[in-house]
Amino acid sequence: MTVRRPIRSAFAASCLALCGGLFACTSDNTTIAEPDLGLLDSVVDAKARAIWPGRVLTDGSRVVRSINGFVDGSAIGCWLFGLSSRLTADAFVFCKDGDAQCPFDASGHAQWQRMVGDPVFARMPGETGYSPYWLVWVVRVPDGYTAGDLKSVDGIKAAVASGQVRAEQHVFDHGGTIGKGPAVMHCALVLAGTTLEDGATGAGAKNQQIEDRQGWHKQYRVHFYDFSATEGVGPADSASQSRPLMIVSDLLVLRRDCDGGSTSFLCKSANSIRGWVSEGDADNDFTHDGDKSDTNHIFLATPGHAPTAPQDANRAYSPLWKVSTVGIVAAHDNDVTLVDTTGNQDTSSVKSVAKLRALVQQGLLMEPEPLTEAQAGVTLPGNDGQVYFSCPMQVPMTAP
């Protein structure tokens, strides 16, 4: 039997030491009001900006790239925020003392209208320990608290120490076999003005609107996209120990077998990553639809919908994807029709995990191979050598 250690963040440990384990100490009635230092962008230099999500277009605007793939036979898109750690960081939301409906409703959606002011994030992109997946702490404030007085983790700690507020790790009832446990919220910090590229797929479809909201980091104002509107708050991975880990789902990336003798133009392209069947990586509009967002990536699940294959029934959607590559056997390059060999995305012969597995059994595709950090040339804490992409789904809606 495996015995797991209790999940406890570094902030929890510091608060326990500070307040004897109760998150509230004797009040000295000190007034709390931290200064507003302005927009965080003002202290992010040119080198650090390269780490933040999004790419800069020729007109100077910053956009998070959209990519399109397939799930269960249908086209679906996601916003590629890049590589991510599985470790969670700490975020703090403010709720009135006694408001049981704050911060989330029963479905796990953030109740921003009930919160008192904007959230505080412990890390920003580029800082050690940053993650767009946040372990939620609730700061319980009295009726007289002024929204926005607390703008930093240090300020919250001081307020807890003086008895002005109480802080507690939020426990959410995830239902089913998971039950009550830590709450992990998905909020991607971005520089001001960063937009999400429009990537709606299918006739009459439009993207679910993801709201650009504002919060605080070290007394600076910061922008973020809140994905709880489509995903809801999630559980930590059941294998988490000293620090909660984000749950993951599977992303299967198809590639031409360049080393095995494939003569595909992807193997000759300077932009292509190991023969990946991806318009963006190859800088080529395979499908002639006016964008470079199409791939033959296969996603396992979508928000609110479990995979259809029986063996995957208990594997939930996650915006954090474990990346595995699937090579097309070079001798069968012409037998597997993908988006790089047709002008129409709908004619791809691999649009689901079920079809991919069938072609593996037939010998046309190779077994999935996890993409390692050594292959990608990166190392992120908490990933144990595996590459993970942060790519929240663009949940499609039918236009009115």
**Cβ neighbours around 26 below 10 Å, total:** 8
Same domain, 21 and 139: yes
Contact 167, 19 (CB under 8 A): no
- Pull the structure tokens for residue 170: 């939020």
Tell me whether residue 189 is in a domain: yes
User: Of the given ranges (2-11, 106-115, 141-150), which has the lowest mean pLDDT?
Assistant: 2-11
Average pLDDT over residues 203-220: 80
Q: What is the pLDDT of residue 17?
A: 40
User: Of the given ranges (174-178, 263-267, 364-368), which has the lowest mean pLDDT?
Assistant: 174-178
Q: 288 burial class (0-12, 13-18, 19+ CB within 10 angstroms)?
A: exposed
pLDDT digits (tens, 9 = 90+) for 156-178: 999 999 999 999 999 999 888 88
Average pLDDT over residues 129-158: 96
Same domain, 74 and 126: no
| Radius of gyration of the CA atoms of the chain, in A | 23
Domain holding 201, by residue range, is 1-26+88-242
Q: Please say which residue of 212, 242, 272 terminates a domain.
A: 242
- pTM metric for this prediction: 0.89
Tell me whether residue 38 is in a domain: no
Tell me whether residue 57 is in a domain: no
Q: What is the pLDDT of residue 26?
A: 39
pLDDT digits (tens, 9 = 90+) for 199-209: 644 444 455 67
Q: Please say which residue of 242, 262, 296 terminates a domain.
A: 242
- Would the pLDDT of 10 be above 70? no
Same domain, 94 and 183: yes
Same domain, 233 and 318: no
User: Of the given ranges (44-53, 235-244, 289-298), which has the lowest mean pLDDT?
Assistant: 235-244
Total of domains in the chain: 2
- Would the pLDDT of 20 be above 70? no
Q: Please say which residue of 203, 220, 242 terminates a domain.
A: 242
Tell me whether residue 153 is in a domain: yes
pLDDT digits (tens, 9 = 90+) for 304-315: 777 777 777 777
Tell me whether residue 44 is in a domain: no
Where residue 396 falls among pLDDT bands split at 50, 70, 90?
low
Same domain, 179 and 258: no
Tell me whether residue 371 is in a domain: yes
Same domain, 72 and 200: no
- Would the pLDDT of 29 be above 60? no
pLDDT digits (tens, 9 = 90+) for 293-333: 999 999 998 887 777 777 777 778 899 999 999 999 999 99
- Would the pLDDT of 15 be above 70? no
Tell me whether residue 354 is in a domain: yes
Same domain, 237 and 252: no
Same domain, 158 and 256: no
Same domain, 21 and 151: yes
Tell me whether residue 184 is in a domain: yes
Same domain, 141 and 196: yes
Same domain, 76 and 92: no
- Pull the structure tokens for residue 307: 């995979």
> How many Å apart are CA 361 and CA 356, to the nearest integer?
9
Same domain, 196 and 76: no
Contact 215, 118 (CB under 8 A): yes
Average pLDDT over residues 367-384: 90
